[in-house]
Each structure stands twice: as C-alpha cells, then as structure tokens.
Amino acid sequence: MSKKASKKRKPAVKAKIQDTVVQTKTFGYEDMLTELEAIVADAEQRQEEEDAA
C-alpha cells in the first residue's frame, strides 16, 4: 500500500485590517431643512408623474 501524501498546513495569514476614520459632518438646522425640502420636492415630482400616467 502506498502512503497518502499529507498536506502541510500553511500558517494562517491575518488579514490586514485598515482602520477607517469616519468623519461625520454635523448637520445644522439649515442643512436638515434643505435636505427635507429636496426630499419633499422629489416626492411631489414623482407623485405628479404617477398621476399623469
């Protein structure tokens, strides 16, 4: 009988983990109001397109 070739285990390679720094922009009142107005305007436009279809 022949011997089975045993595979040598490779040492586990640790994945390099990149630390990401997330910089959050602080939203002020005016920024939030502007974003909300844009969302509402987009929703109104989509509603008009749906009504026209």
> What average pLDDT is seen over the chain?
81
Q: What is the mean pLDDT of residues 8-34?
A: 76
CA angle 3, 7, 8 (to 5 degrees): 125
Domain ranges of the chain: 26-52
At 27, list the tokens.
Answer: 């939203």
Is residue 5 predicted with pLDDT exceeding 70? no
How far apart CA 26 and CA 47 sit, in angstroms, is 31
Q: What is the pTM of this model?
A: 0.48
Rounded mean pLDDT, 14-29: 73
DSSP string, 9-47: PPPPPPPPPPPPPPPPPPP-HHHHHHHHHHHHHHHHHHH
Average pLDDT estimate for 23-49: 91
